[in-house]
Structure 1
Amino acid sequence: MVFPVSDIRALFPALSLSDKSQTRVYLDNPAGTQVPASVAKAVTDYMLTNASNGGGHFTTSVNTDAITLKAHEDAALFLGARSAKEVVIGQSMTSLTFHLSRSICRDFQPGDEIVVSRVEHEGNVGPWLEIAKDKGLTICWVAFDRDSWLIEPENLKAVLSDKTKLVCLNYASNMTGSINDIKTLTRIAQDAGAQVFVDAVQLAPHHLVDVQALGCDFLACSAYKFFGPHLGILWGKEETLASLHAYKGRCVTNELPGRFEAGTPQFELLAGLSATVDYFEGLGRGTSASENRRDLIAAAYKASRDYEEPLTNTLIGGLQQIPGISIVGITNPNRVHQRVPTVSIRHDYINPTDIAKSLSDKGIYVWHGHNYAYEPTRFLGIPEDEGVVRIGLAHYNTEAEVNRVVEAIDTAVAK
C-alpha cells in the first residue's frame, strides 16, 4: 500500500506555509514536530468553551475533570500501560524526571550507584547528577559502542554491582538516532537488583512504545515530539509509583497519578493530548480493519515506519555523496530498523552553524549544536561549541524535501 503522505500533509496547516516565497521544509522534528489541525482545534475548543478548574459541580468543571481523566486514559493506551493511574503528565520530560528523581532516590544511601549511559539526552542525565550530589550517590557511566552505535549488553553488565540501584537508559538517541535494545538491557539491570528509567522521547514519534513488553520500571516521553502539545508524560508501574514518597502540597490528593502532578494541570493541552492519540488511530484506520484502538495505533506506527525507513536511507545515501560530510550514527541501509530518522552530520572544516544558517536562508529548518546531547558530544570528541547539523524526518516529510536538503547542503559546502 502506498503511504498517503499527501493526505497526511493536508492535516498539518504549518506544512503549507512559506518563507520568502519558499515552502518551509520542517526537518527540525527531533526538537518538536508540527501538529495536525485537529490537535490545535481541541486545545482551542477547550479554552473557548470549557475553561475552568477541576473539582466543581458546574458544567465546565465537570467537563474539565472528564478531559483530564480521558487524557490519562489515552496516554496509557498510547504507551501500552495497564491503567491511567500509571501515567503522570506534566510540563516536560525533563521537569517530570527532576521531580520524580527525588522520590525514586529518596531512600538511596551514600555510596549507592546510579548508572547513566553516555548516549543520553541531558533530560536523563542532569536530574541524576543533581540528586547524586544531594545524597552522596555515585554516578557510573556506561559507554555506547562506537562501531554499533548501541549500548551493548556486555558493556552494561561490566558497570553493574551490588550497589547499583538505578539504571537510566536512552531508547533512541537524539544525536545518533540509534535504537537501544531496552528489553534486553532492562532484564540485565533488573537481574542485578536495579530499577530502570527509560527516556523514550526520540523513539515515540517513530515506533510503538509497549511499556509492559519492555518490563522497565519508568518510561518518559514528550507529546510535542509526536505531533501533540507541549506536555511531558512519565509512566511508572502502579505498585512502584504507589510505594514512592510524593513531594507535594498538603491539599494534593494521595491517589495516583495526581499525587505526582504538582499544581494545576494545563487542561487545554490535555485536550490536545487526547486529540493526538486520536490522530494516530485515524492514521491506523488507513491500513487496518481492526476496531481495537491499540491495534490502530500499532498499525499507524507500522505504516509510518515502512515509509520513513526508505526515506532515511535516501537521506543518508545522499549525504554520503557530499565531499567532507561525515554522519554520526548508523549508515548501513540494512540496519535502518535500528535507528530513528534523526541524522546528525559534520563537515571536515565548515562549522555546523554556517551550514544551518545556509539551509535556513532556503526555508529548510534544521538544528545545530549539541542539542542537549551533551554526553555523546563529549564522548565522541565533538567540540561542544560546534556540535552537529541535525536533520530529523517525520512521516509527513517527502522525498522531494529530502532531495532539497541534500542539494542545499551540497551547495553550502561547495561554496
Structure 2
Amino acid sequence: MSLDVDRVRADFPALQQGVAFFDGPGGTQVPRQVAEAVAATMTAGLSNRGTVTAAQRRADAVTLGARAAVADLLGCDPAGVVFARSATQATYDVSRALAKQWGPGDEVVVTRLDHDSNIRPWVQAAERVGATVRWVGFDPSTGELGVDDVRAALSERTRLVAVTGASNVLGTRPDVPAIAAAVHAAGALLYVDGVHLTPHAPVDVAALGADFYACSPYKLFGPHHGLVVAAPQLWDGLHPDKLVPSSDAVPERFELGTLPYELLAGTTAAIDHLAGLAPGDAPRDDRRARLLASMRAVEEHEARLLDRLLTGLRGIEAVTLHGDPAQRTPTVFFSVAGHPGHEVQAHLAALGVNAPASHFYAIEASRWLGLGDDGAVRAGLAPYTSDEDVDRLLAGVAALAG
C-alpha cells in the first residue's frame, strides 16, 4: 500500500504555514493527534503511579501503554523499555552503569560516523576507569562504514561497540547485523544509536543484533524525550546509581524520578499515528503488523523523493554532495561553492524552506570529511515531504548557485 501524502500532511498543523520542512532529522513536526494526547493526559488528572486512585491508575496505564507501543515499534520486550529525558541522557546512564564492570585493559570501540551522543559517553566512561578506546573511521568518499574495519578493531578485551543504525548527516546505514555478529563473536555487547534509523525504516531489534537500542520519539512525530531498550535480563545485571527509596525493579530502576506521563501518552499517539499511515490489510488489533506495513510504505515514498532530490542536486554544478552510501536514509549533506552553510540556510529560509546547516553533533564525521566544525547543509525527508517541497528546495539552491 502506498503513502497518501495529502492525507498524511492534513494531520500536521505546522504544514499550514506553507513552509517546506527538511529539518526532520533534528525533530519532525507533530500531528494534531499527538498534541491532543498530551493535552488530554495533562488535564485528565494525574498523580504518581499506583492502584488506589483513578489518577494513579491513569498514570500507570499511560506508562505501560507507552512501553507496549515502543515494543511494537521496535519488536522488543515491553519490560525492557527504559524512558529518559533524551537518547543522549539514556546513553550516558547506560555507559556509567556498564563502566562499573570495566577496568584497565578493557576496550571500547566507537566510530567516527556516529553522532557524538554515541561517542562521548563511551569515551568518557572508558577514560574514567582506565579502559582503552579504539576508533573506527569510514570511507569519506562514500560515507560507508565497513564491517571489516569494525572487526579489525575487536579483540578479546573488547567490552562494548557503539555504532549508529543510520548516520544523522550522511544517512549511511551500516550493516548492523553483520557488525553485531562480529561483536558477539568477540564476546562484546553492541549499543546501537537508532535515533535516525527508526523514523525511516521498519525496525526489529533482535534481527539487528543490538543488545541496546536507543531512539527519540521526537524524531518520529512524538514529544521531546528519549528511550533505550534491551532484554530485561540484560538490564537486570546492571546497577545504576539511584535513590534508596526508588524501585529496584527492571525497567524502573533506570528511570530516575517521576516519568513525564504526558510525553509517554504523546509517544503512544505518535506510534499509533505511524501505524496508520499505510497499514494495508494488517488487522486493526495488530499494531506491530500495521507499523511494519506503514514503514515499508514510508521507505518507498522517501526513496522516490530522495532520488528526485539527489538527481536535482547533482545537476547543479556548484553543489558538492558529501558521501554516497549505497544503503541510506533519505538524508543529504551538501555544500554550495562560494556560500558558507549558514548563508545557504538563510537563503532557503527566506524562501520558506527549512534546511539547516551545522555539524549536527556528528562532529567527528564532519571533521573526518574535511568540513571541520562548520559542517554543511542537511536536507532530511519525512513522510509528510512532498514533491513540491523537494522542487522548492532545488529551485532555491539553484538560484543561489547561479
- Within the alignment, does 1:25 sit opposite 2:14 as a pair? no
Q: Give the Å deviation of 1:350.
A: 1.3
**2:107, 2:369 → 1: CA distance?**
24
Q: Is the 8 A contact 2:337 2:401 kept in 1?
A: no
Q: Give the Å deviation of 1:290.
A: 3.1
Identity of aligned residues (%): 37
- Within the alignment, does 1:42 sit opposite 2:30 as a pair? no
**Runs of 5+ unmatched residues, structure 2:** none
The residue correspondences of 1:15-414 to structure 2 (distance < 5 A) are 15-17=15-17, 23-55=18-50, 57-81=52-76, 83-285=77-279, 287-291=280-284, 292-330=286-324, 335=326, 338-384=327-373, 386-414=374-402
Q: Give the Å deviation of 1:51.
A: 3.0
**2:386, 2:332 → 1: CA distance?**
15
Query: Residues 182-220 of structure 1: CA distance to partner in whole angstroms, max 9, x if unpaired?
Result: 111011011011110000100000001101112221010
Q: Is the 8 A contact 1:124 1:199 kept in 2?
A: yes
**2:353, 2:272 → 1: CA distance?**
29
**1:297, 1:218 → 2: CA distance?**
21
Q: Give the Å deviation of 1:142.
A: 0.9
**2:107, 2:337 → 1: CA distance?**
39
**1:64, 1:352 → 2: CA distance?**
45
Between the two proteins, the alignment pairs up a number of residues equal to 401
Q: Give the Å deviation of 1:147.
A: 4.4
**1:167, 1:362 → 2: CA distance?**
43
Letter in 2 for 1:398: S
Superposition TM-score, scaled by structure 1 size: 0.94
Superposition TM-score, scaled by structure 2 size: 0.97
Letter in 2 for 1:233: L
SS at match of 1:207: coil
**2:338, 2:184 → 1: CA distance?**
45
Letter in 2 for 1:393: L
**Runs of 5+ unmatched residues, structure 1:** 18-22
Q: Is the 8 A contact 2:91 2:118 kept in 1?
A: yes
**RMSD, aligned CA:** 1.3
**1:34, 1:186 → 2: CA distance?**
33
Letter in 2 for 1:50: G
**2:275, 2:339 → 1: CA distance?**
43
Q: Is the 8 A contact 1:355 1:413 kept in 2?
A: no
Q: Give the Å deviation of 1:288.
A: 2.5
Q: Give the Å deviation of 1:400.
A: 0.6
SS at match of 1:378: helix
Q: Is the 8 A contact 1:284 1:298 kept in 2?
A: no
SS at match of 2:295: helix
